[in-house]
Structure 1
Amino acid sequence: MEMREDVVFALDIGTRTVVGAVLEGTEDGLELIASEVIEHKSRSMLDGQIHNVSDVAEQVKEIKRRLEEKTNIQLKKVGIAAAGRALKTLTGHHKIEFKNKKEVDVDDVKMLEFAAVQDAQKRLAVGKDRDKASGYHFVGYTLLQSKLDGIKVGSLISQSGKVIEVDLIATFLPRIVVDSLLTVIRQADLEVDHLTLEPIAAANIIVPQQMYNFNLALVDIGAGTSDIAITRDGAIIGYDMVPVAGDEITEAICENYMVDYHTAERIKRELTSQEEVEVKDILDQTVAISTASIIKMIESKIDKLAELIAQAILKLNSRAPQAVICIGGGSLTPLLKEKLAQQLELPINRVGVKDGKEIQGVTGKIEGISGTQSITPFGIAMSCKINKSRANFIDIQLNKDPLHLFTLTEPKVSDALLAAELDIKALKATPGLALGVEVNGNLKMIPGTMGTSGKVYINGEEGNIDSQIKQGDSLEVQLGDRGKAGEGIIADVVADLPTREISINGDKVTIGAIYYKNGKQANLNSKLADGDKIEYTIVQTVGDVLQDIMDIPVTQLKKSKITYILNDEEREYRRQNYRLELNGQAATLEMEIDDGDELIFIENSKKRLKIEDVLGEDATLANLNIIFNDKPITVPAKDYKLIKNNKPAQLDDLINTGDVIEYQSGGIRLNQLLDYINYKIPTSLSGKLIIERNGKKAQLIEPLSDGDQVKIYTESFRD
């Protein structure tokens, strides 16, 4: 048995059958040498997922044995494809803002795109089981749009701007799908030469690259799954899978006509070629059934299959595509093409079935299956031929931990970082958090330091996220450090304001701006914290100096005014609390100061206004102090009245704004004084009666004043 490097062994492990094909290279592509088709003996495959590894491995071994007998070629390596069960396609977004405007380079774009892939990867942890992203292999991504400073651009490389962002679609495949396939291949004594996805394999041979500009939906309807790929704008933009396909129809036939699975499969294949089928049910009864009645019975299942496929296409594509290309054995199901067109509201001629008779680049026919079923195995073979790197499964070390890596393209550092769920953004130098404060109502930012970039080493030599890696490589990833948070003092966020030197009451004083932090006075060296509110005022006038420098409230600097009513007459009293002079001249609070000015202010007496202050000389005391015959006595005045706000008042009572004062003067005569002190003038006199007021003769009816000296005596008594 010979060994040949120019042949390709492709294996399509489907839900119902295993198809093996050996092809050799030609000038035009590939030519089929031999093929084998084996149906699973039991339901070892469900919905495209291997449920019985041993059974499937035995089938693959048998395929391998038969092909080696036919070709006399020893088969060691094989190309396979994953059906895409539970394939997840998610959108990702990322934005990078540079400190300053710069020219975008290739490294910036790679970091941006892979950070967006990781954004999509984080969304895998959803559902009841909270599956972790580590349970999935990253398959690939397709760009949706790139933006520079908020404007869409075709390519970011070499553009100049401050903000770059990208949206993309990333596709992930559950590890369990890949792992079960690998186990089957290993148990069949084979090595994986190449692994791809069935939608990719099929698209490689039925949708030429130039047709990727059309918005097409490629639907591979197998037995257990319907795999979907969407092309648009020159690329495959996404994949999806519906876990419903031909088996749904087969099982409906089983249940309705009580036949086994293989009999139901035969009936389904004959629906489009026979008018009547003859079957033996589980009771060993042979019956003839018209295919029209069978089609009518399964029509509701076909409706459901078409509905689910259409819904997946619309979800992935956001609208109906321009056309739908169907392949796989399930695409031959009666009425499916018509119902799919109806669900997508497309003309019937926009939904087609590729029969596989003419496949570009591949010649030959696989016996035992329809032409359309040959597309996937031929696509796997072509994908295996054109794939430049055959090492899709490698074991490496990442920071001394073992990592098994699967990629659909040549492995790179970025693939390892994604598989290990290391944050790619952490390789970039990350600036520390900025410090934000408010200065007189305006936001001011103090940026943090930039930090240091991370490093990637491959076998001790420095690399980057785009560096290629191979089996056995040792990777060391040192993540970047975040810079320090912004910090500063008030002087860092305010303007450089001038100072002036003036004289205040003879003392030299340097005057600058007055600063406040969160409402409390501070100086330029006060340390800032995030969210602080800084305010400052500039000392410009005499009033500013006294209030902000001398800490004297403006209300005290202004003239005080009291309005009151005295005997029905409204009066006003004004007084200046301070005497102000600027450069030797009377000053007002509004005058501006300048460098070298001399300011003098003297506080006036703080004496409060009393009633006696406003009555003046007209006021007569309520009590008179008299010296009578050399003895002091106090006598109340007659007809005196002093009332403030309808209550008796005293002369030393204070007056406030709004007070109402009533005043009536009073006095006393000499005879009233004598009555008050109960003084009796002698009726018999031994001499002449003398009455004196302040040393002068006076009459009994003469009025007295406060402080008068009164004497009454006779001349004989005097002698």
Structure 2
Amino acid sequence: MASLEQADQKVVFGLDIGTRSVVGTVGYMNDGQFNVIAQCVEKHETRAMLDGQIHDIGKVGATIKVVKEKLEQQTDIHLTDVCIAAAGRVLKTVRTTYDYEYVDAHDITEEDIYNLDSAAVEQAYSEFIKNNTSDLKFYLVGYSVMHYYLDGYQIANLEGHNAGKVSVELIATFLPDDCVDGLYKACERADLKVANLTLEPIAAMMVAIPDRFRMLNLALVDVGAGTSDICVTDDGSITAYGMLPIAGDDITEIIAQHCLVDFNQADEIKIAASHNDKVDYVDIMGLNKTISSKDIAKIVKPKVDEMAKKAVDEIKRLNGDKPVSAVFVVGGGGCVPGYVKAIAREMDIPEERVALRGEEVMKNITFLNNDGIERDSLLVTPLGICISYYEEANNFIFVSFNGVQTKIYDNGKLQVVDAAMQAQFPNEDLFPKRGQELKYTVNGKERSSRGEPGEAAIIQLNGKPADIHTKIRANDIIEVTPSTAGAPGKAVIEGIPEFKTKFNVNVNGKNVEASRFATVNGQPSTPLYSIQAGDEVKVLDYNTAEQIAALMDIDINEDTVIFVNNERGNKDTPVYENFKIEFKAQEEVIMDYYKDFPSADEVAISQENEESYESTEDGRLVEDADGQLSFDDLPDDDGSQKEEQVVVRNILAHDLHVTVNNEPITLHGKADYVFVDIFDAIDFDLSKPNGRAIVTSLNGATPEYLQPIKEGDRIEVYWK
């Protein structure tokens, strides 16, 4: 039994749980150099895994336990925590960019960067859930930061900089729950706790493509037994991930069918053919057989070409439908003869730009015990799993969220909001919700009033008050009461900006300032009216005469006559800015009319003068067809005949007989008469009111004061 504890020795234990075998590595990091203490490889006795996914948890767990025990014997260290990598045919990725702007300039801290990353991951997860059409439940298994931005400019590290706006662009990766859950349960069968989980392409990238090479547009293909894991780099970061469910086992199956052997023996033939010219084997009939490596290469060539084509197609898809500059191949499946050349051919790049990576990329790795360890491409991913522990230190933990057991990808800085996101708790139920927005129109244009904010979610962590940023740990109990919505939006007429403006009008010779009025859905409204959803509000650019009268405390009655811009109006006549409006009593209107009207005596004198002029002996009065009179044949001063005619209007004053208040009345001295002329002929003193208003009637109808009257009309005039 091991005498040393893993925690005390500060070593990392990594497992590459592959489709055909489990590779265990124990080592530690020192001054940027990873030191390998021990390694162990154990093949699965049966096909307990297919396409990178565990099908038989018990058998895989048993294989893991064998590897663990052998490594404990080699190191004398009791291994309890393990780092693993996930793969699967259903890898999903989301690429997203998240921006955050500070109110004031701010010095960026490590915590700020973590919060920025977390917000971006949450955004990526929301986008993934929104677009996920499958019935599978996915878990976030990792993310890679592509770029940070400081005030819009790309920067390598935000920490310490003073910024107003920061951004992060990252790729988040998701796998179905059964892929992740199977790995955890298999490790539990071997009495191991998962200390860190990464993706296989991320692990392979740690070793195969150092940071200094990631400025180039490169692709890495990790060809295992069950899956081909792909990642692409460009501009200093990993830009995309992909997985294909086609790899070394597909070639093994072809060999098994051709040679008539079981799967495990076919796998041995495949491996031996990559190192020897001929391979001896015994088929299921018990016959001894020999096959050359060239024959095997011919047999598997169609499948190798298919694998290469699918890998290149996926690389191009991940790289924006264009080829990369070079391709690195790792993993046992990549050792199959012809695969590297097929990749170069399909990618249409020189063969020297596609290489199988092995010992040459392990310069920062020291093997303290060289017994039986071959430094080839098969070790790239197992070593990368160990190194990723120091880069990521991530894991899954379980918490209770509103009574539901929830598994969360642990990056060491988990908060309540992360658990809520993983439990698919609605984001809007965490934060105060505004009440319903009030939408209406003002003068045909849409307006809205925002609702009031409600109360934030009530969060309890292990029975104590908490908030969304409270840190959480394994087995925490989280209870969240959803946030509430606030009061709906509201607005009143008097709060509308257009309604608050005033305009000038002239009322009875005085300039005054008038307020606006409004209608709602075509009906007049008061300033205190509460606007309802869908209301059509119109702020009028005028007042009616009645509204102006109310403003000036003028009483409009039956005796009131209204003039707007010197035109007769009524109480509904609109009065716009800078208009002139007058309110007069009827008798005032009559008096104004007579003020400039000629008297009967003046008319008589004028008529006598005209008659005298018509009887002049020096000329002859001629009447034309229109009834106009003119002097004709008048001599000029020099005795000559006058050429031009002088037109004289025929003003024929006559009497008019009407009945007023049942009394016959005769009007004199005018050629034409209007209604107000009767006041010259009757005893009716307009200056001394004998009632509230004057009632007038012309032949039973209400007349205008300037309405013409004719012979025999019946008129009534009296005070009321």
Instruction: Calculate the TM-score normalised by the size of structure 2.
Output: 0.67
Deviation at 1:15, TM superposition (A): 0.8
Deviation at 1:181, TM superposition (A): 1.6
Pick closer, same or farther for the CA change 1:94–1:486 going to 2, 3 Å: farther
1:18-57 to 2 correspondences below 5 Å: 18-24=22-28, 26=30, 29-57=33-61
1:436-455 to 2 correspondences below 5 Å: 436-454=439-457
Distance 2:201 2:413 in 1: 19
Counterpart of 1:293?
Answer: 295
Deviations 1:340-382 (A, max 9, x none): 2333333333322211355143222573766111112222222
Match 1:354 to one of 354, 357, 361:
357
Deviations 1:37-66 (A, max 9, x none): 222221111111111122222222222333
Pick closer, same or farther for the CA change 1:205–1:534 going to 2, 3 Å: same
Give the match's secondary structure for 2:406. strand
Pick closer, same or farther for the CA change 1:112–1:433 going to 2, 3 Å: farther
Distance 2:404 2:530 in 1: 46
Amino acid at match of 2:192: L
Distance 2:79 2:201 in 1: 25
Match 2:120 to one of 113, 124, 134:
113
1:606-625 to 2 correspondences below 5 Å: none
Distance 2:149 2:21 in 1: 43
Provide the alpha-carbon RMSD of the alignment.
4.2
Amino acid at match of 1:442: K
Give the match's secondary structure for 1:485. coil
- The answer to whether residue 42 in structure 2 is matched with residue 58 in structure 1 is no
Q: Which structure is larger by alpha-carbon Rg, 1 or 2? A: 1
Deviations 1:593-628 (A, max 9, x none): 879953349799xxxxxxxxxxxxxxxxxxxxxxxx
Distance 2:148 2:535 in 1: 40
Give the match's secondary structure for 1:283. coil
Deviations 1:285-332 (A, max 9, x none): 333333223222222111211122223223333243333221110111
Counterpart of 1:81?
Answer: 85
Distance 1:436 1:152 in 2: 39
Pick closer, same or farther for the CA change 1:305–1:503 going to 2, 3 Å: same
Distance 1:190 1:592 in 2: 87
Distance 1:586 1:393 in 2: 87
Of 348-357 and 102-111, deviating more is 102-111
Distance 1:231 1:463 in 2: 41
Deviation at 1:243, TM superposition (A): 0.9
Deviation at 1:449, TM superposition (A): 2.3
Counterpart of 1:252?
Answer: 254
Counterpart of 2:187?
Answer: 185
Distance 1:227 1:19 in 2: 17
Distance 1:117 1:143 in 2: 14
Amino acid at match of 1:60: I
Deviation at 1:245, TM superposition (A): 0.5
Amino acid at match of 1:379: G
Distance 2:172 2:392 in 1: 22
Distance 1:91 1:412 in 2: 22
Pick closer, same or farther for the CA change 1:94–1:434 going to 2, 3 Å: farther
Distance 1:501 1:591 in 2: 8
Deviation at 1:17, TM superposition (A): 1.2
Which stretches in structure 1 are left out of the alignment for 5+ residues? Answer: 551-577, 605-651, 653-719
Deviations 1:96-134 (A, max 9, x none): 999xx877995985675244123233146413xx224xx
Match 2:270 to one of 256, 264, 268:
268
Deviation at 1:199, TM superposition (A): 1.9
Distance 1:418 1:524 in 2: 47
Amino acid at match of 2:314: A
Of 301-310 and 396-405, deviating more is 396-405
Counterpart of 1:313?
Answer: 315
Deviations 1:665-704 (A, max 9, x none): xxxxxxxxxxxxxxxxxxxxxxxxxxxxxxxxxxxxxxxx
Pick closer, same or farther for the CA change 1:446–1:324 going to 2, 3 Å: same
Counterpart of 2:491?
Answer: 488
Amino acid at match of 1:68: E
Counterpart of 2:327?
Answer: 324
Give the match's secondary structure for 1:213. coil
Pick closer, same or farther for the CA change 1:181–1:490 going to 2, 3 Å: same
Distance 1:323 1:462 in 2: 54
1:34-433 to 2 correspondences below 5 Å: 34-92=38-96, 106=112, 109=116, 112-123=119-130, 125-127=132-134, 130-132=135-137, 135-140=138-143, 142=145, 168-318=170-320, 319-356=322-359, 358-364=361-367, 367=372, 371-384=376-389, 386=390, 392-399=395-402, 401-407=404-410, 409-433=412-436
Distance 1:412 1:360 in 2: 39
Q: Is the 8 A contact 2:142 2:173 kept in 1?
A: yes
- The answer to whether residue 532 in structure 2 is matched with residue 525 in structure 1 is no
Distance 2:258 2:384 in 1: 36
Match 1:13 to one of 11, 17, 26:
17
Percent identity reads 30
Counterpart of 2:696?
Answer: none
1:620-699 to 2 correspondences below 5 Å: none
Pick closer, same or farther for the CA change 1:84–1:593 going to 2, 3 Å: closer
Pick closer, same or farther for the CA change 1:331–1:488 going to 2, 3 Å: same
Counterpart of 1:614?
Answer: none
Amino acid at match of 1:598: E
Of 433-442 and 152-161, deviating more is 152-161
Q: Is the 8 A contact 1:502 1:599 kept in 2?
A: no
Pick closer, same or farther for the CA change 1:388–1:102 going to 2, 3 Å: closer
Deviations 1:613-650 (A, max 9, x none): xxxxxxxxxxxxxxxxxxxxxxxxxxxxxxxxxxxxxx
Distance 2:396 2:45 in 1: 30
Deviations 1:478-497 (A, max 9, x none): 55444333211222224213
Q: Is the 8 A contact 1:144 1:169 kept in 2?
A: no
Q: Is the 8 A contact 1:47 1:244 kept in 2?
A: yes
Q: Is the 8 A contact 2:57 2:185 kept in 1?
A: yes
Counterpart of 2:583?
Answer: 599
Distance 1:377 1:586 in 2: 99
Which stretches in structure 2 are left out of the alignment for 5+ residues? Answer: 551-559, 590-698, 700-720
Counterpart of 2:3?
Answer: 2
Deviation at 1:204, TM superposition (A): 2.1
Deviations 1:363-405 (A, max 9, x none): 2257376611111222222233x26857x34333334554343
Pick closer, same or farther for the CA change 1:195–1:532 going to 2, 3 Å: same
Pick closer, same or farther for the CA change 1:123–1:292 going to 2, 3 Å: farther
Of 359-368 and 437-446, deviating more is 359-368
Deviation at 1:586, TM superposition (A): 6.6
Distance 2:416 2:577 in 1: 70
Amino acid at match of 2:426: D
Deviation at 1:461, TM superposition (A): 6.5
Distance 1:528 1:185 in 2: 65
